[in-house]
Every structure is written in C-alpha cells, then in structure tokens.
Structure 1
Amino acid sequence: MSYTPMIQQYLKVKAEYKDAFLFFRLGDFYEMFFDDAIKASQELEITLTSREGGSEDRIPMCGVPHHSARQYIEQLVERGFKVAICEQTEDPKQAKGVVRREVVQLITPGTMMEGKALQEKENNYISTITHFSDNTYGFAYNDLSTGETKVTMIHTGFEEALNELSLSGAKEIIIAADFNEELQRKLKERTVLTFSVEEDCSVKEGYEPLLAEIDQEKLRITAARLFNYLYRTQKRSLDHLQKVSIYQTHQYMKIDYFSKRNLELTETIRSKGKKGSLLWLLDETKTAMGGRLLKQWIDRPLVDELEIIRRQTLVETLISSFFEREELREKLKEVYDLERLAGRVAFGNVNARDLVQLRRSLLQIPFLKELLKKLPHKEAEKLSDRLDACEEVVDLLEQAIVDNPPLVIKDGNMIKDGYNEVLDRYRDATRNGKTWIAQLEKQEREKTGIKSLKVGYNRVFGYYIEVTRANLHLLEEGRYERKQTLTNAERFITPELKEKEALILQAEEKSMELEYELFTAVREHVKEFIPRLQALAKLVSELDVLQCFATVSEGRHYVKPNFSTDRRIVIKDGRHPVVEKVMNAQEYVPNDCYMDADREMLLITGPNMSGKSTYMRQIALTAILAQIGCYVPASEAELPIFDQVFTRIGAADDLISGQSTFMVEMLEARNAIVHSTKNSLILFDEIGRGTSTYDGMALAQAMIEYIHDHIGAKTLFSTHYHELTVLEDALHMVKNIHVRAVEQNGKVVFLHKIKEGAADKSYGIHVAQLAELPKVLIQRASEILAGLEQKDEGQPIQKAAESTPKIAEPDAQLSFFNEPVETKATTFRSKEKHVLEKIKELDILDMTPMQAMNILYDLHKKIKS
C-alpha cells in the first residue's frame, strides 16, 4: 500500500516506539493513527474518525488538542501505557516538503514528573533487575521526580529480588531483552508493572560522577542500565539526579511482601488504601517530602541501635518542647516539595509559580533553624547548623519573580519591574501606548459627540474604534477606515491609531520574548543550587517525620521503648495502635507480653473473634514502631532488635498463579522457616486449617518443634488445635497462653484479655450464634457437640513427654476407642486401617459423617465385647 509522505513519516517514527501510543503533532492537535487510534479512542473515550492515507483505503484516526493533551496522557500512563510525544522540530514556513518531526520525550508510569498520577506523599519509582551468570541479582530503583537512586546486590536468590521490588512499590521495571523467561513469568505473577527493555548497560561520561563512589562492577552495570533508559527516553539534561546510594538489605529489618501485607503497614488488605494502615495512623507530616520519607522508614525499619536511639532522642526532645513543636509544625506547612521543585527546575518544566513556592519555602528555613536552637539537646542544634537557607536563591527570586505570576511562562508578567533595563523600556512603551489609547477614546468622544464610542482590542484585529450604527452619521467622512462590521456596530481604524498599534504590539511582543529569556536564565541559575536544595530537602523531611513521631506519641500516650541485650520482650499494657485509634481508646483492652530465654514461643489458644490475631499483630507493630525510632503503644516496653519479621495471618487464594489458600499458607510458612534466625520474630496464625484436621495438626506441631529445636526465634503461634497445648510439657521454651472468654446466660463474652495457660474450649458454636446463623442449625450443632462430648467423656488427652514422637495423636479430638490413645503413630495407623476395612464391609462410605460415626461407635463396642 502506498501512503502519503506524512503517514510514511508517522510509520517510521512509530516503528521505533512500538510499545507506546505515539502522539503525533499536526498543527494544534496530537493525532494517532491505525491501531493506536482504535485503542486510544476506547481508552480515552474520544471519537474515532478516519482520513485519506494515500490509497483508496481510509486509515483510522483520532486526536486530542495539544493544549489539553496532558490530561489524556495522564489517563493512559495511569493505566500502565507509555506515550511518545512527537513534536514538529522545524518551522512549517521554512520546511521543504513534510515538516520534520521527532519524539522529544517518552512518558511512562515510572518517569512521570507532574500531574495527578504523581501522588505527593508517594515516591514514583522505576526499577531494574540485572541477572548475572553466578545467579546473583543487581537491583536498583530511581524516583525521577526527586532524583534519588538506590542500588544493591542480592546473593540469596530471585525471591529476595522480588521482595525488594515489592518493597520499592515501583511502577515500571527495566530488564534486558534476554532476561530469563521463567523469572519474567514470576515477575508478572507477583507484580502489576509496566515492562521496558534496555540493552545498554555501559557507563556513560555524562553520569559517571553519579557512580564515582561505586567500585563494584555489577552495581555499576545495574545502575547504568537504569540511567541509560532514563536519558534515552527523556531526551534532556537530568541535572537533578543524585549520587547513587548503595544499601545492603541486612542494614534494615527485613519485612517480606507477605508480612508487609498481613500487617497492613502502608495499605490495608481489603481496600488497598492508606486508611486503616500503620502509615495512616502515623502520618502527621506537614510536607509532601516528609510523607514520602515516613513511608520509606516504615518499609525499612533500622537494625542499627545507635541510629534508632538518635531518632528517639530527637523525638523525646520534641515531645518535651510542646510550644516549639507546634510552631515548627506551622512553619513546615509553608514548605513546599523542595525535592520535586528541584527536579522540575532541572527537567525544564518548572513555571514561575513553582519558583515563587521555592522562594516561600526557603524563607521558612531561618525560622526552623532558630526553633531547633531553642530545643534542649545537642542533636537538635546539629540539625539546625546543617539547614542551608540558600540565601542566594532567595535573593535572586525576590529580585526577579513577581509574587503572583501567571501559570503559562510565555504569557509574560512574570519578571519584576527594575530587574532588567531593556524590559523596563519595552514595558514603558507598552504602558504609555495604552495611556495614549485611553486618551484617544476621550478625544474621539469629544470630537464626534458620540458618548458610546469606545476604543477596544482583540488578538485578531488589533486596536479599533467601535461606533454603533445609530451614530455612524456623526463620523467625519474620509478620516475613518472600516475594519469590521458587526450586527449593531461598525469598527474603524485611523492612521494615528494604526501607527500607535504597531508601536504597542511590537513592544509587547519584544517584552514577552525577553521575559521568557530572562525567566530561562533565572531557572538555569537556580539549577546550580540543586545539590544544596536536595540536601536541605532531606533534612527538612527528617525533621518533619520526627515531629510527626513526637505528635503521635504524645497524643496517643506512647512510651519510649528500651532495647534488651538478652532478647527479652517485656511489654506492659500493649495495644494495637491502629485498632486503638479506630476504636474508642477507653474501650480497647490492653495486654502484656513477656518472653525470654525460657519463653521463646507462646502458643495462643482461644475462640475466634477473641483477639488472638490482634494480639499477635500488635507485638509485631510495636517492634516495627520501635525500630523506626517512634515511641510505642504501651505503658512500658523493652524489646530486642529484630533482624526480620515474618507473619502468616489470614487466608487468601492467589488466583492469578493458581495457588490455593493452603498453598499460599505453606509458601508463607516456608519463607519464614527457611529465612528466619534466632533474632527474628515469627507470627503464625492458625497454621494447618486449610487442610484436613490430621494433616493440619501434624504440620502445625512439626513447625512448632522445628522452630523450637532449629531456629529459636521469638514466635507467637495461635491455634485451634487444643491438642497442641500438651507440647508445653515436652518443649521447654513453649508456653501456653489464651484469650479469656466466659459464658453468661448461655452466651459467650469475649474479654480480649491474655492469660497464662491453655483455653478450655473453642466456643465455635457461640461464634456461629453471633453471626446469626439459623436457630435450628445452632440448636442441632449444640446437640451434636453434646453427643460427641458425652462419647468422649473420660477420654484423657495424652500428655506429651520427652519420648513423645513428633506428631501428636489426632484421636484426642475424636476417639472411637475407649482405651488411652497410644503414643506410637504406627499403632494409630493400624487401627485406622482396621476401621477402614470395617467401613468397606458395612458399605457405609456414602453415609453422612454423623451416621458413619454412630455406626463406628456401635462397631467399636461390639469389637470390645
């Protein structure tokens, strides 16, 4: 098919950006053709049309106005698409043939610099994973809007690389074209990401200084792949990119993807929103950059005790200085997003209002410095000394930019009078000309006697004299030249007005051109201060998070935790911070937790809805709060510093990868058991309930024993298998605790109070009653339970002893044999085989469980007799 030259040009550019929507500039519109047009019309709900393409067939086409294109681009990028912006790079008047066009930027989910898709309190990361031949992985991530880049090496397998990717929350990932297909499949199963390919991983001269402190070749390669993609797609100077920061995963408390989700650290499981999470509880930050740093601290709690204590000390100082802290909070409200403002300056999309925000922000720094000096601690004074007010930037912006500039930088009225002599002359000519226009209107009214005569202006016709039709006879013939005819009036121009118009418009045009040049020069000057602005932003962010901790800790009556050297946990009146906030604080029942070398594992029993999971979560959240430097919800707290937190709480199918609830449960349990150390914290909730009772109980006991014998981690293990409580006698570091509940007038009352020892019953039927199941059903369940308990009456549960085998006997839950349950699993299996043979003989396989149980019970009595 033969296409027109313009369509051929489009297809040539499109071939280089096959995975992106190509916004092709034609006059005042960005047009899309072929498949792009069809898909864009569906995604953006815009009209699909067609045009001649050079043959008899018409080609699909749709477009958006260039002045409103941003909203359409944001819609596409938010949905995970990429958009290539193709502009006219040649003056159409000077073009010979088709106007030259080039892609000036590729906008992707990981490279957004502005717009609604860029949440102010969330980083917008783009990441890369490089797979090396020795099965190690380089992982790097960057926030283009702030310029920060971090890189690490992972030596423990792809799962940890996946975990780092999940923690970063990246929206886009860059890989090599030959990246392992199986690993790509895992990436797509676990994440919702936009995939991009970058083959070039060689270090370029332009960003070599950013990697100057990195001597590991693998880290340099990983970071270079990321930078090469950014420079290739953004096609401009990225002067705001900061030096690459190397981190080691062991520098932080490891919280895997599952545990982060289960503990609802930054978003809730159900709504996937911030409300109801730990981040929601803590976020009393006053700046956007402080909000982002808070999320980073929650994602990566510290293991360095000295740094934790440094944060605690500043929090303590801010708590004790209420008035200074409140004044600090008020000043922080006036500080805009210095990180992203610096990024926009470098990127070239900053406007005059942004620079006014920058100036106002910097004007708050001297006040912050003085406030910090008033605080009674050396750490606060050190922080004050490090705050750089960037006076040179303030002075420049004070002199150059007006207080209320327009949004569009090419409309003029941005630069202050007195800043530039030439600009002042142009403005004087413009203003004097407009004064002359006003005087002209007065003179013409007096000369003609037409009181309604007016001198006006529009962009199309310039200046004019407007006279209503009724007054046309009053005009002097030959002096007025008709310019435009309206329904009820005529517009004219005179030789004097025409001459003055040329002077005024020429002055205005030159004035606007010069203003733009001056603004660009100011922006370039500010660009020189980007490193200082970024350093200042980091300090202000940290100050904001610390005041946030102080505000929350004081307002919610948290206490400063101490750190134990002997791995003791001592929490008095501990609370779940989020649940306490959602509930009335007076209604929340606090609980203690004590664990030491003799109490490494707490086996928690009690009915559903009694608070077992809440109790377990609050211990983990208390540890995380302590290790980010915040106070904790308790009246007293002493904790070890945990290297990792693992949780297995709740149940959910992973339908995407075809994994059942039980498989997800086992994978999460495996992750904890394989990777935990004695310095870890493990929370296991109802392990084994996704399979049969016997299987589940066997697995639960085996896990308890394995953790006890081989790991020694602090573990909270809740269960409905009451038979497991006998393990306290066999495993010396296991202790039973339970959530107390009582019956009143035939109804269960949950006290939500943790007590020593095992629970006496499960109260399952009572919980079903609270759920308002039909009364007939509840009554029948009670009858069945009474029958089972009567048959089991006098059947003691076998206590575990030192010689107890590793799998507890399930007969203790439902026994068909009156003699005590034997301790050897082989004996049980022989009885099981015998019972199955009898079932086959009686042909009762299709009966209900209850019918079969009654027949078996009768069979048992006959066998005994």
Structure 2
Amino acid sequence: MANKTKKVTPLMKQYNAIKVKYPDALLLFRVGDFYETFGSDAVKASKILDIILTKRGAGSESETELAGFPHHSLNTYLPKLVKAGERVAICDQLEDPKLTKSIVKRGVTELVTPGVALNDEVLSSKTNNFLAAVYFGKTIGVAFLDVSTGEFLTAQGSAEYIGKLLQNFNPSEVLIEKQKRSIFNDTFGANFHTFYLEDWVFQDDYANETLCKHFQTKTLKGFGIEALAQGVVASGAIMHYLGETQHHKLQHITAIERILEGDYVWMDKFTIRNLELYHSTNANAVTLIDVIDHTISPMGGRLLKRWLALPLKSQEKIKARHEVVQYFLDNEVALQKTQNYIKQVGDLERLISKVATAKVNPREVVHLKNSLEAIVPIKALASNCENEDLKRIGEQIQSCELLREKIKETLNEDAPVNILKGNSIASSASEELESLRAIAFSGKDYLNKMLERESASTGITSLKIASNNVFGYYIEVRNSHKDKVPETWIRKQTLVNAERYITEELKEYESKILGAEDRILVIEQTLFSELVLWMHSYILQVQQNAQLIAQLDCLGSFAHLAQQNNYVYPEIDASFDLDIKQGRHPVIEKQLPLGESYVANDVFLDRDTQQIIMITGPNMSGKSAILRQTALIVLLAQIGSFVPAKSARIGLIDKLFTRVGASDNISMGESTFMVEMNETASILNNVSERSLVLLDEIGRGTSTYDGISIAWAISEYLHEHPSHAKTLFATHYHELNEMTETFDRIKNYNVSVKELKDNVLFLRTLVKGGSHHSFGIHVAKMAGMPPQVLHRAQQILKQLEKSHSSDELTAKVKDLDSEMQLSFFNLDDPMLEALKSDIEAIDIDTLTPVEALMKLNEIKRMLTKKKRA
C-alpha cells in the first residue's frame, strides 16, 4: 500500500516557504491578531516563554505543534527569546486581509538577534549591546557596533590584544567566517554567542564597497582606518549582517572610530578578570564599577565602562579630566546644578537612533525635546565657567533650537506612546486637522441641540440620543410614546420597554463623524512620519550632545565619588616612581562593617632602588588586597578619577599586569598550574619599563621546591630584565626573602600580625622586613580544624623547619651557580659534554620565560642526579 501524501494547508505552505529561508531563526508568524510558532520552534518557544503548547490538526495527517501569543504582546515576549540567545525572524502580514480574497501576503520584516536589538526590554540602560565581527587575516581584525546607539569601533592586532578587547566590550554576538569556527574557539574560547557567515563576506573589496556605500563616500580615508585592513573587513561583515537581518534604516551610524592600541594602558584579559573591574566569579561579589559608578544618565554609565576598559596613557588628557573633577569639588553649586539638569536628560543616543530606524513613538519624541531643553542650561553653565575643558564642552553643545521648536509645534506635550491612539499631533499643526477635530469632538453640543429640537417637535420629553458599536447613533423612545414617533423615522431596534430609531440627519452626522475620525488618524500618522523624517538632519548634532553630556556625567560622577569617599587628586608625572601614601582598596573599604575603618598602607616602587617588593605574610593577612588596591589606584588615576589614598604620585604606567588568585581552567583541560604559567608567561613576554607587575603566590600550583624555584627564577628575571619593571610579589615562600642579599633592587616587606597565646591577630599593615612564619596552622585553627589534626601539624612543621632551612636553599642556589661554572672547565664527563651542546643549541631570542624555566629545571635535575650517582 502506497504512503499517503501528507496534506499541507495553504497557510502552512506559506509558512514552510518562509521558514526555509531562515532555518537558524525562530519564526514568529503573524496570523490575524496572533504571532504563532510551529513545529520545533513552538516546542522551543513554549519552554522559553512559558506558554501553552498545543497541536494544530490533532490526529490528522497535517498534525503539528503550535504555540503563540497576542501580537500586541510582542514587546513582552520578544526580549525573553533574544535573552535566551535565540535569533528571531518576525514575519508580518504585508497587506490588509479585508482587501484580498486569497491568502494574505506575508514576509519577514525584521530579524532580531542578541547583537542586533532595538527593543528597550532587551537593552540595559547603562550597558552597550555590541555586535562584534572577528576576521583572521595577516593579523586579527575586530569591529564592534551597538546598533541601538550608533557607536561603531574597529581595531586590529595580536590574538592577545583582540582577546582583551572582546573581554572588555563583552559583545552579545560575534560574527565569524564559517571555516574559522575552530580557530576562533581555540584562540578566544567558546564562551561567546557566535554566528557564522559565508567566507565570501570577509573579502577586502566587498568590505570596502559595503562601507563606502553606507557612508556615501568613495574612500574610507576620512575615517582614519585605511591602515586597518583586517579591521575594515570585520567592519564590512557587520554592515553586511545588518542588511541580512533586515536593518536598512541606519542613518545614525555616522562614523567608525579606530581604537588605537598605543593610546591606552595595556591590560591583558587575565588582569581585567583578576581585578574584577566589571564581573566576578562570585555572583554576589561587588565589582569596581559597582563602587565608582555615580553617573546619572545611561550615556554616562556606558562611557564610564569604556573609560575603565581603556585607561589613558596621555599625561595631558589625564590631567584635563582631573582638573574638571577638582573644579567641580571647588564649585559644589556648579556640580549640583549640572547633575540636576543631567537627571532630566533621557538616553539621547538611543532616542535619536530610534528616530533613524523609524522605531520612535510620539511620547519618545517629546522626551527627546524635553531632554534637549534640559541641556540648554548645562551649556550656559559650562560655557561660563573658569575651567577651559568645561568651557570647551559648553561651546560644543548644540542648542538644537529649531528641532525643539518644530517638535513643540507639532506634538502635544502629553502625546501617547501609540500614534494610533490619536491626539498626538497638536491641532495648530494643521488647519484640516483642527476643523476635523471640531467636527469629531464638538458632537455633544450638536446632538444636544438636535435632541432639544426633536423633543419640541414631537412632544416626547423623554427622548434620548446615544450610540453603540453595532447600530451606531440612534434615538431611543419609550413604548409609552411610540404613537408620537414621526413617519420619517426609521426603526432600527426593538427593546422590551423601548424602540430605537434613526433619522436622515442622524445618519449624515454619523458618517461625518466617522469620516472625520478616520481622516484625523491618517493626518496624524502622516504628520508624525514627516516630523521623524525631518529630524534625520539633526542626528549628528544630537549624537554630539549625547557624547558631551556623557563626559560631563562621568566627570561629575568622579567628583561625587571623591566627595563621598575622601579620594585625593593623584599626581601623574613622567617619572618611573610609584609613591602611594595611605592607600586603600576602593571596593573592600565599602564592604566593611559599620564603624570599622580600612587599614591603609604605603607603597613605594621605582626602577633604581626598590624595583621589586617581596611581600610575605600569612594567608588571610591582606597580601592580595594590597596588590589589588595598588593596581586599582593606578587604574582609577589614569581614567581621570581621584584615588583612595592620603596622597599618590604615579609615574605614568603603560602596562598593568596582574597574576592574582587561583583561576583553574579545568573545563578546557588546563590545571591551575598551567593557567598560572600561561598568565605569567604573558607578563614576562610583554613587560616594559613603564609596566606595573603584580604577582600573587606564583608557583603554588606545583610542588613546594618546583614552586620556590619558579618563583625565584621569575623574580630574578624581572630584576635582571632591562625594563626594570616595578613589581609587587606576594608569596608564602619565605625562602624568597633571601633574594634581597643577592639582588640589590629586591626589598622584603611583610603584612604584620600579632601573635597571641593561642591565636593570631591580623594587623594588615605592610612593614619592612620579611616574615619567616606562615601561621597556616593558626588559620586552620580559626577555620575549626579538629585539635588532633592541629597538634600533629605542629609536630610535622617542627621537623620540616629543622631539616629544610632557608639558608640551605640559598646555599643550594649558589652551589648550582658555582657548579655550573666549574663543571665546564672539566668536560671529561660525557653527560656534561651533552649538556654543553644542549645549551649551545638554545635560541635565546625566541626562548620564552616559561621554556627557560623548564630548561633550567631539566638541567638542575640532571646535575642533581649526577651528584647523587
């Protein structure tokens, strides 16, 4: 028996034809007043949206899963789908069902993806929603676009640099060439939401053509990105993707900004993670941005994150920011007024982007006008102040008078969200609109006069004129007066106690009213569309205002932060010194219990006398906090903020490296020790004379002697490296205290403790001199370890301390040096001959520090083995 062909309805044929074009998207298919999903899409949607899953044609050959929601609820359900990582194709009805006898034409009007979203419920006000593209060419190119604000940035460089940018900008979606899928995952990890485009999209010529077409220019030279060949390709891929996702109204994307690596402090991805600038591995942890963000506007909040991601290296630019902060602190009234006005300013960037993409509603346009009006007094305040940079900002702010006036003349102040609700356009904006409204809304007087006239002519005093949706307008007569009804009246409806009639005059009036209402709606929609189109000429001006207000907001936020938390003006100079007096950790001090004050500490580093500080002390004593606070104070200073200290003099830092805290990457098959070595190798391979290096417990991921050997070799490398990079090295290996005897720029400090009879008190103060006791057993006791375990640990510790002194380690290192030197004068031993050949074969120029450490360890083992033999 032959299989029966599955019957498919015309609607499902249409659905299948559209779905096949968007196989990787969840298709919202408009059917009447609902958006429906079918098949696997319906199963997925029902789970994400928590809506009922039903079956269409249950029991029949065309049975399929079905889940839907009312079309007016799109803004409620769409964000949930996008936040779940879904690409959503919105398929709308392209014609009025009343005007066609066949199936309604439908088509995808928008493809919403995590990186391309304009819906307010998807977007976070103080966070950018970046779409990124990565291109692997001679070097790696990257581009970032926030379609909701129009910000478009590009860069190119090493995998390490691009990885750092990806971590900082945290894109919602990353576009990659199909064939580079595994390369991307191997290079940057699989944590990003990725989408793969055909390889031909990533072509030089196509990218140039796409970008030039958008910007309506013959060349990209005016954008300063012509040297970024890979960055241009990535940027072109983004613009191609916008077209593919049905985003064609993009007049708010007016420029591409180049991220110049040389302008900003280098921080690798490990440093950004270790310092917990934006995120923490602990879900409830407070991050730096949580503490320092006192911005008022969404634009300011987004810009502050950018400043934190890209600290400045220009002494002049940093000082300019500091001077504005100082001006605000000296002129509290100016700060208060500025912040009060900024509170009245809406999200200008996203409002004007909605204008460009034709997704703005009447209420938002009024909000835009009111925001621009709040800027006028800010412009006056800034223009007339004594600070040159504030004055410059004031002069650059655009008043947009014509724009504000046009909106005021066109729209009612209380305009609704939905243009279809009416009363958006001011009556004075159109004579026709004014006269039609007079007809539509002066009906009450007309009907009262008609009622008065008909009552007098018929003698029926209880006449009533009313209307409903079924019969329209009618005159109602009680049954007791039926005999008085004129013959010219037409009966419309019979009730129990009354009859309803219509007259020619009432019919004419009804058609006039209904015609007026329909015409009013058309005029309002037309005038609003014309206004929005006219506003396009102000996109650039509003965007410029948004950027200037964001700057003012950030600088005002810094002033407020300094005021509330007793931060000081940091001195940035061209020296190589770092001199912090009474420095504090900005995050920890805000988390202390009420009444408890943070224990402040001094830190001094330079390249000539105290290049490396070796900090010893027990666990939990505060070593890591001192390292982190030093990094955060430098970071805050170079983004233009005041700092938590009594004073701070900072020789400009160009690279900030941290290796703080254990960070396993076991999910990718790497041990704690391997991750630690990768991060440390990154530091040693990139260190410069203006670097600040912060190392915490290097070597603890391996055996004690291996760990000590590696920590010693790393410290020695940094000391002997021509850069003389300033370094803080926190360690529990007290043996490293001996390094100060051999290396003149290494100094020992410890985080002091007070030893009580059976306990230890952490004083958290950094003092000169090394610590020779770890107090680990005391910490175990504080953690509630059983007494018999603590007693046994004490016994073992005493034995170990007798057999392995730090003097022994120093002697061993010195013996190794002398043994290596003397052995080569006597090369009769075949093993030493082989060792010499092995060393001569090493290419010092290409050898990484970690490879050197491994080679040194291998040599040491060979020599030790020989000695034992």
Name 2:344's counterpart in structure 1. Answer: 334
Offset at 1:233?
1.1
CA distance, structure 2, for counterparts of residue 448 and residue 652 of structure 1:
94
> Aligned pair in 2 of structure 1 residues 460, 671: CA closer, same or farther (>3 Å)?
farther
| 1:831 Cα deviation after fit | 10
Structure 2 residue 207 is matched with structure 1 residue 206: no
Classify 1:188/1:827 alpha carbon distance in 2 versus 1 (closer, same or farther; 3 Å): closer
Which is further off, 644-653 or 400-409? 644-653
Stretch of structure 1 that moved more, 336-345 or 35-44: 35-44
Q: Distance in 1 between matches of 2:447 and 2:868?
A: 110
SS at match of 1:413: coil
**2:326 is the counterpart of 1:312:** no
Q: Distance in 2 between matches of 1:679 and 1:416?
A: 62
Structure-2 separation of matches of 1:587 and 1:55: 74
SS, match of residue 24 in structure 1: strand
Deviates more, 1:345-354 or 1:91-100: 91-100
- Are residues 1:682 and 2:693 paired? yes
CA 1:806–1:337 in 2, change beyond 3 Å: closer, same or farther? Answer: farther
Aligned residue in 2 for 1:582: 591
Counting only pairs closer than 5 Å after superposition, residues 471-510 of structure 1 correspond to structure 2 as 472-475=479-482, 493-510=502-519
Q: Structure 2 matches for 1:318-717, cutoff 5 A?
A: 318-439=328-449, 455-464=465-474, 472-475=479-482, 493-583=502-592, 584=594, 587-597=597-607, 598-710=609-721, 711-717=723-729
Residue in structure 2 matched with residue 817 of structure 1 by the alignment:
none
Shift of 1:18: 1.0
- The TM-score, its normalising length taken from structure 1, stands at 0.88
Answer yes or no: is the 8 Å Cα contact 2:292–2:561 preserved in 1. Answer: yes
Quick one: which amino acid aligns to residue 281 of structure 1?
A: V
CA distance in 2, matches of 1:608, 1:806: 32
The aligned residue for residue 852 of structure 2 is none
Structure 2 letter corresponding to 1:533: V
Secondary structure of 1:179's counterpart equals helix
1:793/1:539 CA distance change after superposition, 3 Å: closer
How far did 1:427 drift? 0.6
Deviations 1:478-525 (A, max 9, x none): 567665688998766454433322111111110111011111111111
Which residue among 759, 782, 787 is the counterpart of 2:794?
A: 782
Gap change, CA 1:496 and 1:749, over 3 Å in 2: same
Structure 1 residue 575, shift from structure 2 partner: 0.5
**1:35-65 deviation digits (Å, cap 9, x = unpaired):** 2122212222222222249972312222221
Is the CA contact (8 Å cut-off) linking 2:215 and 2:254 kept in structure 1?
Answer: no
In the alignment, what sits opposite 1:91?
96
CA pair 346-788 structure 1, distance change in 2 beyond 3 A: same
1:851 is aligned to none
**Larger CA deviation: 562-571 vs 177-186:** 177-186
Deviation at 1:775, TM superposition (A): 3.5
CA pair 441-319 structure 1, distance change in 2 beyond 3 A: farther
* Corresponding letter in the other structure for 1:702: A
Counterpart for residue 193 of structure 2 = 193
RMSD: 2.9
- In structure 1, distance between residues paired with 2:54 and 2:496: 36
Instruction: Return the match for 2:251 from 239, 247, 256.
Output: 239
1:734 to partner: Cα distance: 1.3
- SS of structure 1 residue aligned to 2:421: coil
Partner of 1:859: none
Aligned-residue offset at 1:724: 1.2
Does the CA contact (< 8 Å) of 1:645 and 1:681 recur in 2?
Answer: yes
Match of 1:172, as an amino acid?
A: E
Name 1:140's counterpart in structure 2.
Answer: 143
1:10 Cα shift?
1.5
What is the CA–CA distance in structure 1 between the aligned matches of 2:201 and 2:380, rounded to whole Å? 49
- 2:271 is the alignment partner of 1:268: no
Residue type at the aligned position of 2:155: T
Assess if the C-alpha contact under 8 Å between 1:625 and 1:631 holds in 2.
yes
Give the whole-Å Cα distance in 1 for the aligned partners of 2:364 and 2:454. Answer: 45
Three-state SS of the structure 2 residue aligned to 1:656 is helix
- 2:82 — aligned with what? 77
How much does 1:291 deviate?
0.6
Q: C-alpha offsets along residues 370-400 of structure 1, whole Å, 9 cap, x if unaligned?
A: 2223432222222211111111111111111
SS of the counterpart of 2:148?
coil
* Partner Cα separation in structure 1 for residue 452 and residue 317 of structure 2: 75
Structure 1 counterpart of 2:856: none
Query: Counterpart of 1:269 in structure 2: which amino acid?
Result: T
* Residue equivalent to 2:240: 228
1:181 matched residue in structure 2: 182
Alignment partner of 1:735 out of 747, 760, 784 = 747
Structure 1: distance between partners of 2:817 and 2:116: 55
Calculate percent identity across the aligned residue pairs. 37
Alignment coverage as a number of residue pairs = 807
Partner of 2:38: 33
Query: 1:410 and 1:660 mapped to 2: Cα distance?
Result: 61
Which amino acid in 2 is paired with 1:60?
A: E
- Residues 826 and 151 from structure 1, CA distance in 2 versus in 1: closer, same or farther, beyond 3 angstroms? closer
Cα separation, 1, equivalents of 2:189 and 2:467: 60
Distance in 2, Cα, partners of 1:795 & 1:262:
31
Matched with 2:835 is none
Does structure 2 retain, via aligned residues, the 8 Å contact 1:293–1:541?
yes
C-alpha separation between the residues in 2 aligned to 1:91 and 1:145?
Answer: 31
Whether the 8 Å contact between 1:705 and 1:806 is mirrored in structure 2 is no
With normalisation by structure 2, the TM-score equals 0.87
Amino acid corresponding to residue 325 of structure 1 in structure 2: L
Distance 1:319 1:757, change over 3 A: same
List runs of 5+ in structure 2 lacking aligned partners.
Answer: 1-5, 820-858
Equivalent residue number for residue 163 of structure 2: 162
1:71 Cα deviation from its structure 2 partner: 1.6
The alpha carbon displacement at 1:550 in A equals 1.1
Conservation of the 8 A alpha-carbon contact between 2:115 and 2:171: yes
* Counterpart-to-counterpart distance in 2, 1:81 and 1:513: 36
Q: Deviations over 1:728-770 (max 9, x none)?
A: 1122221111100011232111101000110131111111222
Compared CA separation, residues 765 and 89, structure 1 to 2 (3 A):
same
